[in-house]
Amino acid sequence: MKICVTKYQRYLRANYNHIIMINLKNKTVWITGASSGIGEALAYQFAKEGAKLVLSARRENELQRVAQSTGLVDSDILVLPMDMLDFDKFPAKIQTVLDYFGQIDFIIQNAGVSHRSSVKEMNFQVYRDILELDFFSTVAFTQAILPLMTERKTGHFVVISSVAGKIGIPLRSGYCAAKHALIAFFDSLRAEVWQDNIKVTTICPGYIKTQISFNALDSSGNKHGKMDDNQANGMMPEVFAQKALRAIKNNKKEVYIGGVYEVMGVYFKRFVPSLVYKMVRKK
């Protein structure tokens, strides 16, 4: 009887945790890509919830700016510059966080890059570079932190994928592929770690008004340097962060956040894919 009860309790935790919103007070939240855009907006929202923050990206001066803007005291925030391609440095970075806060509760994996190039013109090395940052670095970081969460029997992985991981669109083939791979990887992880009380939330943004298109790579790996119209007219990062935080606190498994056009496109792709195939030709 005890074994049956235990299994039932695990089932309830896995399927109904969203009923009780997660309390973020004094939780340690590590955000990658925290120097601007979505990562920056999420930092402010977590700070409002009373979380302790670790902010990582390559630009230390921008991380310092974000840290000061959160209003958190020094003991509740750690600026930790990090290049997500330096896989070998992950263990040392993790130890730095443990020495500072003693634990890691949430990992918000947001670092990445997009591109603007057709398959025909794309330099193959640029594909490799995109997959290395957008997919493999996230996998490596997850593997580095997972043993800590497994040992503590608690933790929450949050990955920022994209609606583009659900719907392939022109001039984004590498980006779409990487974001699609993230969704599949974290689906598998979720199925493996639920018994250790480790949660996984995949968030798929639509068009958010950030610098992602400006920083995107062209066919040769140089910066695109232009703001796309769809991006310029996209959802404000602050609004996105509010919606994302609500999904995280409710332990959502997968959520789509963006304009009606992008979000409905995900459902159209599922039920009337031929319509979506025609629509994306115009994008």
Q: Which residues are marked as active site?
A: 175
Q: Would you state the structure tokens that stand for residue 168, as one six-digit string?
A: 């392939």
List the Cα angle 102/104/108 in 5-degree steps. 150
Which residues, other chains included, contact 54 with Cβ-Cβ below 8 Å and sequence gap of 6+? 28, 29, 30, 31, 77, 78, 80, 97, 100, 101, 104
Q: What is the CA radius of gyration of the chain?
A: 19
C-alpha to C-alpha distance for 151 and 165, rounded to whole angstroms: 31
Give me the residue label for tokens 């935790």: 13
Edge-to-edge strands, sheet with 198-205: 77-79, 52-56, 28-32, 106-109, 155-160, 198-205, 254-257
At what angle are helices 137-152 and 173-193 packed, to 10 degrees?
10
**Which of 101, 110, 87, 103 lies closest to 31, judged by CA?**
110
Query: Can you tell me the distance from the alpha carbon of 103 to that of 94, in angstroms, rounded to the nearest whole number?
Result: 10
